[in-house]
Amino acid sequence: MTLPPPEIAPPSAPDGPNGPLHGGPAWGFARPKPYHAHVFVPNWQGRKRVAHLTDLHFGTVTPMALQRNAVALVNAAHPDLTVLTGDFVARGLGHVEQLRAVMSEIRGRKVAVLGNHDWWSGAPAVRRALDLAGVEVITNGWTEEGHGEDGLALVCIDDWTTDHHDVGKACHGLLGRPALALSHNPEAAPELWAAGAGLVLSGHTHGGQFHLKAWTQALYKNLLSVRYLNGFYHEELGQVYVNPGVGSSIVPFRYGLPAQRCVAILDLEGGPARPPEGGF
């Protein structure tokens, strides 16, 4: 049985429908939108709703209204689990108290991995803020989510970009369990698939930030060697979802639908491997 789509509408914000955070055709300063998809997990009998947040980048170039809007979208979807795939801060630790306060507002279980900006800015301080907010930060290991036929291994690797990851350690002892993996950088996906985690959730790319047809994809692929830029990639060994995220680290403006700010609501269901259904 397929889970019904969540009834989600972006909550009103203090700036009003025509204020500076309201979206236009370029999506430059638009509030986050809910991305809803059904995702199929082979060799699993369960069903689970997962909210996915990434690249929040608490800092001066990401308005707090966007952060609170993203959390409101998560809570409106009533997920079984919320996962956060890194880059909680932008370019320093000046906003870790705001990070703690906003993350505390997410209801239910929440599990996170760190990203490159967290390490560059001060990973211990970011981890402390998340701990105080009730977020489980797991480093190169896995935990169980759910029980019985709904049970799913949740594999968490530390940041790939800064070379803090250890896929072998993170996947040790999976022994064929159906697994969902969290990695800030999607380029870790093939190694995670090979280690037994067939579905990977990630961020890092901001969907290209300025997404122009063909040009952005070619730039990231040919000059930056980025294979996974935005959205779902379904390959023979597994799947990876690249969430464009919510915040910005340097330039606050985003351009193009694939790079719009996003909160992913993913209904996981057991079934043969195939591309997900749904989207914006």
At 34 the pLDDT is 95
Range 237-250 average pLDDT = 95
Paired with 62 in beta bridges are: 59
Provide the pLDDT confidence category of residue 251 given band limits of 50, 70 and 90: confident
Range 11-20 average pLDDT = 36
Query: Bigger pLDDT: 222 or 20?
Result: 222
Task: Identify residue 20 by its one-letter amino acid code.
Answer: P
Strands 231-234 and 199-202: unpaired
Provide the pLDDT confidence category of residue 7 given band limits of 50, 70 and 90: very low
Question: String of b and e for 108-124 (b: at least 16 CB within 10 Å)?
Answer: ebbbbbbbbbbbbbebe
Tell me, yes or no, if the pTM score tops 0.75: yes
Range 254-258 average pLDDT = 85
Q: Is 256 in contact with 26 (CB distance < 8 Å)?
A: yes
Strands 141-145 and 136-137: unpaired
Q: Is 160 in contact with 185 (CB distance < 8 Å)?
A: yes
Q: Is 188 in contact with 158 (CB distance < 8 Å)?
A: no
Provide the pLDDT confidence category of residue 20 given band limits of 50, 70 and 90: very low
Which of 153, 247, 147, 146 is closest to 200 using CA atoms? Answer: 153
Provide the pLDDT confidence category of residue 219 given band limits of 50, 70 and 90: confident
Paired with 232 in beta bridges are: 241
| For residue 14, pLDDT beyond 70 | no
At 18 the pLDDT is 32
Range 121-132 average pLDDT = 98
Which of 238, 237, 248, 87 is closest to 158 using CA atoms? Answer: 87
Go through the domains of the chain in sequence order and give each one's CATH number. 33-274 (3.60.21.10)
Alpha helix ranges (H) inside 153-253: 167-171, 189-194, 215-218
pLDDT in tens, 65-90: 999 999 999 999 999 999 999 999 99
**What DSSP string runs through 102-162?**
HHHTS-S-EEEE--HHHHHH-HHHHHHHHHHTT-EE--SEEEEESSGGG-EEEEE---TTT
CA–CA distance, 91 with 40 (Å, rounded to integer) = 36
Strands 262-270 and 47-53: antiparallel
Residue 61's contacts (CB-CB under 8 Å, 6 or more residues apart) are 90, 247, 248, 249, 250, 251, 252
CA–CA distance, 61 with 183 (Å, rounded to integer) = 24
Q: What is the mean pLDDT of the chain?
A: 89
Residue pointed to by tokens 């989207």: 279
